[in-house]
Amino acid sequence: MKFSKAKSLISEYLQIAFGIVLASIGLKAFLLPNGFLDGGVTGIALLVKTFVDVDISYLLVLFSIPFLILGYYTVSKRIVIKSIISIIGLALFIHFENFGTITEDKLLISIFGGLFLGAGIGIAIRNGSVLDGSEILGVYLNDKFGFSIGQIILIFNIILFSITAYVISIEVALYSILTYIVTAKVTDLTIEGFEDFIGVTIVSKQYLLIEDAIMKELGVGMTLYRGTRGVGNSGKQVDFDIIHTIINRIDIKRMQRIINRIDSDAFVIEFDVNNVKGGVLRHYLDKKKNKVLPKI
């Protein structure tokens, strides 16, 4: 069981490392040499870089610190720790790599810079990390005020690109918006939607242990259906609870590890959830809420 957990963690960090490489190619080979911006913290760092002679890697870490501090008080420690490692890894890779400029065509720069950056961000998010702190801000404001993460990031970037148009040029701002759109779409394709929710149905003889672990380790609410009879590889099962819960996609691997640790033979169904209203969805993002949560 420990070997399986270690193997899963190694796989996650290897994928995050691959995402860092892709994101750094998008920045160093396309956007940076041509003065183009992306959205979020990366965009702020790129904008400041045009006015001060400071290495972009330092700026990325510096402007990520406030969001990581916010994340420490609003999201799980695991996500924050992995995000710190990812952001520092991205900064180091950008600092030491030496990609040559691939093209000077502005349209190709916007498209392929956004493509590489979006793929890198998406891979990181799929494995429980972020390369850009603006996603953490989106999660926090969503939890506080109910705005969608997409709306928050959009408003954040409208302000950023407006400043870009004023202090640099409208042309750079327009190409940067194109870069952001490509980045956002590729990120969505890679992770199938950062703010999407996953529905999980679990059938297991160890339902009591799984229910308790999900409540304590993830802090999400759940609905329990009473199963009267079931037949499977382990034979007949009677009078058991079927667990149904909804979690953020970023925590799906953590959910899988919890289930595999307790019952590797559990019958688990995962499905996309297009819309959710009410219930306990984001309370697990608040580390101060350790009380028993109501069922959704």
Rounded average pLDDT per 10-residue block, the chain, 296 residues: 74 92 89 80 84 87 89 80 91 83 85 91 85 75 67 78 88 87 82 68 87 84 76 64 82 86 87 66 43 41
Cα angle: 84, vertex 64, 20; to 5 degrees:
55
What are the phi and psi torsion angles at 178 (to 5°)? -60, -45
pLDDT (0 to 100) of residue 125: 82
Residue with tokens 């327009």: 174
Which residues have a Cβ under 8 Å from the Cβ of 191 and sit 6 or more positions away?
Answer: 122, 123, 125, 126, 249
Dihedral sign, CA of 201, 205, 206, 212?
A: positive
Give the type of residue at 192: E
pLDDT (0 to 100) of residue 1: 59
Q: What is the Cα–Cα distance from 239 to 68, expressed in whole angstroms? A: 45
- Quote the DSSP letter at residue 117: H
Give the type of residue at 204: S
Q: What is the Cα–Cα distance from 296 to 278, expressed in whole angstroms? A: 8
Ranges of each domain in the chain: 2-191, 197-285
Dihedral sign, CA of 211, 214, 219, 220?
A: negative
The H or E element spanning position 196 is: none
For residue 228, how many other CB atoms are within 10 A of its CB?
A: 8
pLDDT (0 to 100) of residue 147: 67
Specify whether the CB–CB gap between 125 and 250 falls below 8 A.
yes
Cα separations in angstroms, 206 against 117, 125, 239, 247, 262: 42, 30, 12, 20, 7
197-285 under CATH 3.40.50.720, yes or no: no
Q: What is the Cα–Cα distance from 225 to 2, expressed in whole angstroms? A: 31
